[in-house]
Each structure stands twice: as structure tokens, then as C-alpha cells.
Structure 1
Amino acid sequence: MLSCRALFRIDRVLWFTSRCVKSKLEFFSILRFKGNATMDGFKKQKMVNLVWRPISTQSSSIIAEAGHEVQEVAQCSKSSNVTEGGVNETASVFSAEKHSVSLEVGASLIKFIRGKEGTTQMKIEEEMGVKIILPSSRNDDHIIIEGGSVDCVTKASERITTIIEEVVRSPCLDYSHFVSLPLAIHPELVGKLVNFQNSILGNHSIAGDEQDDQPVDKTTSVTVDLKANSETNQVNVDMKSIPIVSYQPKAKGTNTSTLLDLEIEKSIFIKPHTFHLTVLMLKLWNKDRVNAARDVLKSISPSVMDALDNKPLFIRLKGLDCMRGSLAKARVLYVPVEEIGDEGRLLHACQVITDAFVKAGLVLEKDAKQSLKLHATVMNARHRKRKDKRKKMETFDAREIYKQFGNEDWGEYLIREAHLSQRFVFDQNGYYHCCASIPFPEEHRA
């Protein structure tokens, strides 16, 4: 009986021991599997808690010119898990790949990528399965496109490229820069322009600044015979006793009414300190294009000097003329330009400048095909500032102005330099901001 019990206890001990050994083996097997998750025959485990970190993308591309550089970013992070027994286990957690591209599109184009109330951006994100990160600063030209694959990021960038190309060719995107020949550097010419504006506008206020009614003399009194009826408590007015009051009619042909009728106001006059000749209009929608235009202008300085035969260039400004249409419905009124000596050096120099910018791919196709007509604008209806934007007043009557200044001799002036000018931005002297400039010959005539 005792021997049987002893044998039973030995069996229990052996059974317990085998169970412990088996459990340990299984435990170590699990640990070994966790420590070698990339061993043959096993795939990467999907992470349970994705840990995304900011992506630094240094790649950039110029839309429609240099293509897109897509940077793939694979991230791996480690997370520490604490077991119930207090043992810290470090397990590798692998994240899915994330792809991004940084595009320099230009601050002026961001609104077209966003769309009205963000509709364009949301549509691209939904259709392409990407996230478009727009810059928070107006001075930042870059956007970032993030997606789960190279294919979706590439397709989204191509869609944005198409949008930009369409916008650039359309009137929706205004010209940002132009090549100019400054004339406002001559103080006597600026003074003549100021006198020109003042003589037309006069000393009267423009378009509704004056009261239409004549001033009322508050000291004038009118005597009316009032008779009270004590019985009815009514007041009887003797109509015959009320004098007839007459107002002097408003003088016809006053300066204010004439300006209103002619649709002339101060805003359509060119600011005298910005007076210039325009050689070429440009749409430079990002910093790379501005830098390229600056380099082009500086590089052709010797060629421009050769086109001018290294001799100073003088022009004569005389008269007035209308750009398309009639004087009765004028859009642009300008001063014609004549090269003194009539050697064609001015047009030759301007053609050298234009050809260089066209060759660099900085000129729109429709602008490259236009022939150059040098003119000095003095009035432009497009500059009109109107309170009611629904009312279009794109013309003005210039017939009276032409009668007075049609043969005006504005004088002879030296062209000293050519500028790459930025529109809507002005330097301290009042002229357009100069991004780059090249000199013209300045030797005095004999």
C-alpha cells in the first residue's frame, strides 16, 4: 500500500515537472518570436498604435518645368509595454510607409488650389486619397502633398499642375511684373503730369463730394398771418399771405457735373511718380521665376548696350492718343513716344530684352506674339475705383482733354536704365519696386 502511494506521488511530481518545462519552453519560444519579428517565414506585424512623426521634405519642384521629386519616408518607432508582472518588454512597432512631395507654386496661386471655401482642395484630397497642407504664411510659396503611395501623390501633384497652368493662361491671374523704362526719374516731367491732372480735375471735388443743393440762408424768415378761431380751436392760415419762394437754378456746365458726365475721376490717372514705358508684361508667380527673370535681365546687359551702339538714347514725348476705340469711349489715353534720331536703336534694344525672356520660358505664348508699341500711359479706365462694382465704367470721354492737350509738347528725355519692376509694390521714391536693373549709356550729346 505504501509503495503504491509512493509511486503515485512520483508520477504527480514527474507530471508537474513536465508541465513546467513545457510552459517554460513555450514562454521562451514566444519571447524569441517577438525578438526576431523579421525571421524567415513571417511577415511584418501591423502596428497597433500608429505613431506618426513630422516629415521633413527638402525636395522641391517647379510646376510645369522641372517635374516632381517625390520623397518616400518610412518610419519605425519603438514603444515600451509593461507586463502585468512588472517586466518592461521593448517590442518593435512598424508603421506603414508615407509619401510626400513639396511643391513651390507661388503665394498668388494658393487661393486657386484651395478653391472657393476650400472646395478644390477637398475634391483633390477625396479623389486622390491625399492630404494637401497649405502654407500658413502669405510669404510661403510651398505646399505639401502627403499620401499612402507614390502613385496617389504623383497624380495629385499632376492635378495641381494642370490647375496652375490653366490659371496662368487665364485672366484670373494678373501680371505680377514687367520690364519698364522709367520716366519718373525726370522731375520736370513729373511736374508736367501733376499740372496735367490738376488742370483737368480742377479745384473741385470729384463725383459727389459736393452737395447738390444750394446753401440755405437760415436767417431768412417768412411771415404768415395765422388767425385762431376760439370756438373751434382751429388755426386758419391765409394762403395769400405765404410768399412764393424761388431757388436759383443750379449752374450748368460746372466742373463737377462735367467730370461725372465724362466719367472722369482721379483714380484713372496714372500716378506721376510711376510714369514709364512698358517693354514686356510678365507673370512670375513664384520666387524661382522671379529669380530667373532677374538673372536674364542682368545677363543681357552687354547685348542691350550693343543694340544701343553704346550711345545715349533720347526720346521725345508729344501729344496724346487713344489706345483702341474712340476718344468718346476711351479706355487708355497715352503720350506717343518718338526716338530722337530715328535710328531704331530703342526698338532694337527692346527686342533684345523680349527675345531673352521668351527664350528663358518666362513669357506667355500670346504675349510673345504681340508686336511692341511703346507708349506712356497717362489715363487708364481699368484703374477706376468704384463703390458699386456691379456698375462697369470701363471707358471715359477724352474728347475735351484731347482738344486741350492733343498737341502738348512734353519734352525730350534720356532713357537711363531698364527695370524688372514689380506691380502693386512701390519703393520709397514712389516708383515700382525694382527687382533688378541694367544701365543704358549716359554720355551727354555733343
Structure 2
Amino acid sequence: GREGKEEVSPLLSSQWDMGSLGQDHGVNSSLFQNPAKLHLTIGTLVLLNEQEIQKACELLQRSKEDFIDKTVGGKSLTLEVAGIEYMNDDPAMIDVLYAKVHMKDGSDKLQLIADRLMEQFVTSGLMMKEWDRVKLHATIMNTLFRKDTNVEEQNNATTGKSSFKERETFDGRNILKIFENYYFGELQLNSVHLSQRFSTDSSGYYTTSGQLTFS
């Protein structure tokens, strides 16, 4: 689903002053998510042709009638983005750092919608089931985003091989110490998108194959 980037993205770009954090092992600015692409992932679909894309779009619209309208009552959801967490066990060796997201009213509406959508797509055969529940998170830093042109050029020049290399983790202990309870802000969530990975549309967000809106 797409987040309200207007409220959240300025905080990523202006408040997160790298300062001395850039000295921590593995930390550099290329690890940060593009603010225009902030999102919550429900799951990954592998759609091999137009028919499967159409099937996914129809499933999305059907879910609006089946349960989303009843859950949201024709209104957008007010979310709060507060605090950061990391995916693996060692804060000195992080691959993914994310912001925590919850409903402002303390309800579990967002979690219910995400879980039901996942179940529908899994049942349809368009999504593999990875977890029992969707882990709601907004990725802020990811080592898959890392750009290190010097290393890539060196690899190509010396070996002639591709520039693919293992992910290099980063030491997030200072970031966690400073921003553990950071309040990013409040936003209105009003849509779920079928987004194409590695794509960009004219707004800077992912290219969308289909979407539903709450209000």
C-alpha cells in the first residue's frame, strides 16, 4: 500500500542529519529509501502475463467489496509512524532498518486489512505464503540500495566479472540510540496499490498496475 508521502518524506530528507553517523561502519546515504517511494509491503506477487495482472486487479477490487469497505467505513485510515526497528538479530550488522507503523486510534484495522489481503492473494495462487501475519513496516534503510561505484569499477576492471557482490551490513547502534523512539508523524492511508518493482512513474512513486481506494 502507498503511504501519504507528503507528511513523511520531509522528515527523512531533512531531519535525519547523517553528521557523525556517516562514520559508522557500512553507513552511507545510498542506503536510504527514496522518500517518494515510502510504502508498506503486504506481499510480493509474481505476475507472469496480462491475464495474471488482470486477475490480481480484480481480486483487489473484490476485496474492497468483501471486507475493506466494512472495515474502513469509506474513510482513509489515520496512521502514526513512530520509532525504528531492524530486521535481524544484531544491531551492529543490520541489513534492513524500518519505521514502525500503527493505527492512531490503537485499533488493529490496518493489520486486519493487510492479513486478509495476503490471505486472498495466497488462496488465489498469485502469492507465496511466507508468514502467518503481515509484518507492517516502512523500510528506511536497506543494504540492497547500497551504491559503491568505486568497488564496482574496480571489480569490472580487474576481473571482467559482473559488479554483483554480497550485501554489506551496517552498524546501526548509534542510529538506534538516537532515533529509537523518533516520531516521524501522522498520515492518511487511503489506497492499496499493485506496484511494479524497480519502476518509477511521473510522481516518483512506483508504476501502478492497479489500485483500490478506501474513501
1:361 has 2:125 as partner: yes
Task: Mark the CA change 1:377 to 1:286 in structure 2 (over 3 Å): closer, same or farther.
Answer: same
Which letter does structure 2 place at the counterpart of 1:268?
L
Secondary structure at the aligned position of 1:279 is classed as coil
Q: Deviations over 1:21-79 (max 9, x none)?
A: xxxxxxxxxxxxxxxxxxxxxxxxxxxxxxxxxxxxxxxxxxxxxxxxxxxxxxxxxxx
> Given that residues 81 and 101 in structure 2 are in contact (C-alpha distance below 8 angstroms), is that contact kept between their aligned partners in structure 1?
yes
Structure 2 residue ranges without an equivalent (≥5): 156-162
For residue 142 of structure 1, what is the aligned residue in structure 2?
Answer: none
- Map 1:129-148 to 2 at 5 A: none
Task: Mark the CA change 1:420 to 1:329 in structure 2 (over 3 Å): closer, same or farther.
Answer: same
| Partner residue of 2:35 out of 272, 296, 300 | 272
1:284 Cα offset (Å): 1.4
Q: Hey, what's the Cα distance between the residues in 2 that align with 1:391 and 1:414?
A: 38
1:194 has 2:13 as partner: yes
Task: Mark the CA change 1:392 to 1:296 in structure 2 (over 3 Å): closer, same or farther.
Answer: same
Q: Deviations over 1:384-442 (max 9, x none)?
A: 2332446534310111112221221111111111111111111101000111111113x
For residue 104 of structure 2, what is the aligned residue in structure 1?
Answer: 340
1:297 has 2:60 as partner: yes
- Map 1:90-169 to 2 at 5 A: none
- Map 1:387-426 to 2 at 5 A: 387=152, 388=155, 389=163, 392-426=166-200
Larger radius of gyration, structure 1 or 2? 1
Q: Hey, what's the Cα distance between the residues in 1 that align with 2:138 and 2:115?
A: 18
RMSD: 2.0
Q: Hey, what's the Cα distance between the residues in 1 that align with 2:110 and 2:7?
A: 22
Higher relative contact order (CA 8 A, sep 6+): 2
> Given that residues 182 and 276 in structure 1 are in contact (C-alpha distance below 8 angstroms), is that contact kept between their aligned partners in structure 2?
yes
Secondary structure at the aligned position of 2:121 is classed as helix
| Partner residue of 2:22 out of 256, 259, 271 | 259
> Given that residues 26 and 168 in structure 2 are in contact (C-alpha distance below 8 angstroms), is that contact kept between their aligned partners in structure 1?
no
Which letter does structure 2 place at the counterpart of 1:193?
L
Structure 1 residue ranges without an equivalent (≥5): 1-180, 203-254, 442-446
> Given that residues 325 and 331 in structure 1 are in contact (C-alpha distance below 8 angstroms), is that contact kept between their aligned partners in structure 2?
no
1:376 has 2:150 as partner: no
1:362 Cα offset (Å): 0.5
Count residues with an aligned counterpart.
202
Which letter does structure 2 place at the counterpart of 1:194?
S
> Given that residues 263 and 393 in structure 1 are in contact (C-alpha distance below 8 angstroms), is that contact kept between their aligned partners in structure 2?
no
For residue 2 of structure 2, what is the aligned residue in structure 1?
Answer: 182
Task: Mark the CA change 1:308 to 1:188 in structure 2 (over 3 Å): closer, same or farther.
Answer: closer
For residue 160 of structure 2, what is the aligned residue in structure 1?
Answer: none
Task: Mark the CA change 1:186 to 1:267 in structure 2 (over 3 Å): closer, same or farther.
Answer: closer
Compute the TM-score of the two structures, normalised by the length of structure 2.
0.85
> Given that residues 43 and 118 in structure 2 are in contact (C-alpha distance below 8 angstroms), is that contact kept between their aligned partners in structure 1?
yes
Q: Hey, what's the Cα distance between the residues in 2 that align with 1:337 and 1:321?
A: 11
1:282 Cα offset (Å): 1.1
1:370 Cα offset (Å): 4.0
Q: Hey, what's the Cα distance between the residues in 2 that align with 1:427 and 1:414?
A: 21
Which letter does structure 2 place at the counterpart of 1:287?
E
1:260 Cα offset (Å): 5.9
Which letter does structure 2 place at the counterpart of 1:349?
I
Runs of 4+ with deviation above 3 angstroms: 258-261, 309-312, 388-391
Q: Which deviates the most, 386-395 or 302-311?
A: 386-395
Compute the TM-score of the two structures, normalised by the length of structure 1.
0.43
1:378 Cα offset (Å): 0.2
* Identical aligned residues as a percent: 31
- Map 1:11-90 to 2 at 5 A: none
Which letter does structure 1 place at the counterpart of 2:126?
L
1:314 Cα offset (Å): 1.0
1:269 Cα offset (Å): 0.9
For residue 207 of structure 2, what is the aligned residue in structure 1?
Answer: 433
Q: Deviations over 1:350-390 (max 9, x none)?
A: 122122212221012x43x4421100110011222332446
